[in-house]
Structure 1
């Protein structure tokens, strides 16, 4: 019986803990060590203070015939209980200040990555590398709606992780395109608010290859809980290979913009884009969540002039929850999702928007 209880306790302790973890970087380990040092200082102080208090209450209880002392103050005691806490605070502040200085030192970085929060996804842009992409929740809708068993990384998995090299100083430039978010990866000891119009900086240097998960840590709307972060640290050769592959994808995407697409091809691609970028608001069958998120099935926008449909997807609709996707999706994906919405469910308009039309709109915006 005792063995069973011990095994049960060990299992519970392994799966549920209230303490911080050492993390995967030098800074995260320093933060952990600092946390534990201050924790044990507080424990010692607590034991001394509460021990003295309970000892005094027990020894000097009325039932033993104790007589209260009659005095007003002690200058010596008051000096001691002022000086001693001051010394303790200074001793704690010295390593804490050093750690804070290290955390805020983003100079001499090897890789610079701009992180932009959107409702409800992250955009990663590798500055100087012509590589950028969006990272979306990859947990299947069936798991979220309890129609399938939840996976190991439920709500903590994405379609495209942020990939970084190990042993390099990575600087993060964190901002937002809509509301306040917060980019938080506990294992890296990085947590910074993403604020529209501002850029906050942070950095990390990961020691070992691995996958590190986090979440948006600032309530940012309906799908705040569906905005995970996944950082994958690779060895330098593997990172270089990944970066070359992403650059090739960027070049290929530019070629796809010039391709002559068929209606069927755009609808097939648009199906995937819709279920990644649009389904959380407008739902799988286009029924929406009125009045906040209107239905697309049979809507005047999705069955009306395609120019109006493209305009609202590209620019969004001010004063509503409809975001502008002109900077979030590629020309191909915007054309595909608009075409899909016009030909899915009960919408059988039969026309399509081509990537070239989206490119023309984007170029007109830039002039």
Structure 2
């Protein structure tokens, strides 16, 4: 008899997974756009921060080779079993059902593979949490359905960032692919600065996701989560809320403009802020630390709850 429907399905699934793995690892569909989606691309966005560079290395040098090897191994085993042990090639079936050595191998080897992956995974997670001394703090608040940004170190009060309407995208001569990505009031940060984000929400759970920086941090009401990034090149970077938060979830993009320090100082002045801290406590990290301790007039955090 020929191979059964289940066997053909397993082989087809194995080939599909293998093809996708190899294609994702080596595919390049023309020049990739920095900080925004690229037509025809299937891989990760180009890295624009040290954390994303490390995430790329973990994905490309550790995960993809292991995934490809496992797919090839499983596909080979399936093909061997289908052709070697079908009814035509093996008319008298074996009467044994267990093999201790085989069971030990397929238990121990996956454990060793997972431990190997964990060595690199834990190091990457540590780097995400091991934030260097921040040069700038931005408080990010998710709302239904927009984002609010506040710069305590520069005394810039909270302002609202909404999605640019489709007609405004066309009026500004921007590509239509930026619809639902571009914002009217973006977050602005200087290039090369260590930016600390204090992330919370005013109503339901949202999530700050910025693919080019390798960021995804939940915005939870009554709680302040902390993350950081450092943009290594100027440009405009786009992200979105990545936590299903309501009917207009798809309409609350995140836009971060990375500019020179001189341009950042000009932008701060245009917002009525100042690059010179008024007190020692308001130096970079000072005010943000007081916000966490609930000792300033800004929105405070006490025992994980915003006041």
Same fold per TM (> 0.5)? yes
Q: 1:236-255 counterparts in 2 under 5 A?
A: 236-247=261-272
Give the aligned partner of residue 111 of structure 1.
Answer: 136
4+ aligned runs moved over 6 Å, structure 1: none
The structure carrying a bigger helix percent of its residues is 1
Task: Describe the SS at the equivalent of 1:63.
Answer: coil
Give the aligned partner of residue 84 of structure 1.
Answer: 109
Q: Is the 8 A contact 2:211 2:239 kept in 1?
A: yes
Q: 1:169-180 counterparts in 2 under 5 A?
A: 169-180=194-205
The structure carrying a bigger strand percent of its residues is 2
| Partners of 1:143 and 1:112 in 2: CA distance | 29
| Partners of 1:245 and 1:94 in 2: CA distance | 47
| RMSD of Structure 2 on Structure 1 (CA) | 2.9
Q: Deviations over 1:69-105 (max 9, x none)?
A: 3434333222222221111110001100111111122
Point out where structure 1 has 5 or more consecutive residues left out of the alignment. 1-8, 250-326, 328-367
Q: Is the 8 A contact 1:106 1:201 kept in 2?
A: no
Which residue, out of 130, 138, 143, partners 2:164? 138
Q: Is the 8 A contact 2:154 2:273 kept in 1?
A: no
Shift of the 114–52 alpha-carbon distance from structure 1 to 2, 3 Å rule, reads same
Confirm or deny that 1:20 pairs with 2:44.
yes
* 1:66 Cα deviation after fit: 5.0
Give the aligned partner of residue 234 of structure 1.
Answer: 259
Q: Which moved more, 1:104-113 or 1:165-174?
A: 104-113
Q: Deviations over 1:283-324 (max 9, x none)?
A: xxxxxxxxxxxxxxxxxxxxxxxxxxxxxxxxxxxxxxxxxx
| Partners of 2:169 and 2:231 in 1: CA distance | 32
Confirm or deny that 1:29 pairs with 2:33.
no
Q: Is the 8 A contact 1:181 1:193 kept in 2?
A: yes
Shift of the 123–78 alpha-carbon distance from structure 1 to 2, 3 Å rule, reads same
Point out where structure 2 has 5 or more consecutive residues left out of the alignment. 1-27, 33-37, 275-297, 299-307
* 1:52 Cα deviation after fit: 1.4
Shift of the 120–72 alpha-carbon distance from structure 1 to 2, 3 Å rule, reads closer
Q: Quick check: which has more Rg, 1 or 2?
A: 1
Which residue, out of 39, 52, 67, partners 2:64? 39
TM-score calculated relative to the size of structure 2 = 0.70
Task: Describe the SS at the equivalent of 2:66.
Answer: helix
Shift of the 143–170 alpha-carbon distance from structure 1 to 2, 3 Å rule, reads closer
TM-score calculated relative to the size of structure 1 = 0.59
Task: Describe the SS at the equivalent of 2:52.
Answer: helix
Q: Is the 8 A contact 2:83 2:89 kept in 1?
A: no
| Partners of 1:10 and 1:103 in 2: CA distance | 30
Shift of the 150–163 alpha-carbon distance from structure 1 to 2, 3 Å rule, reads closer
* 1:107 Cα deviation after fit: 4.8
Q: Which moved more, 1:16-25 or 1:135-144?
A: 135-144
Confirm or deny that 1:61 pairs with 2:86.
yes
| Partners of 2:46 and 2:167 in 1: CA distance | 33
Q: Deviations over 1:174-213 (max 9, x none)?
A: 0111222111111111111111111011110111001100
Higher relative contact order, structure no. (Cα contacts within 8 Å, ≥ 6 residues apart): 2
| Partners of 2:234 and 2:89 in 1: CA distance | 66
| Partners of 1:64 and 1:152 in 2: CA distance | 56
Q: Deviations over 1:251-281 (max 9, x none)?
A: xxxxxxxxxxxxxxxxxxxxxxxxxxxxxxx
Q: Is the 8 A contact 2:234 2:258 kept in 1?
A: yes
Shift of the 124–142 alpha-carbon distance from structure 1 to 2, 3 Å rule, reads closer
Shift of the 49–237 alpha-carbon distance from structure 1 to 2, 3 Å rule, reads same
Q: Deviations over 1:151-185 (max 9, x none)?
A: 34112111111011121211100011122211111
Q: Alignment length, in residue pairs?
A: 239
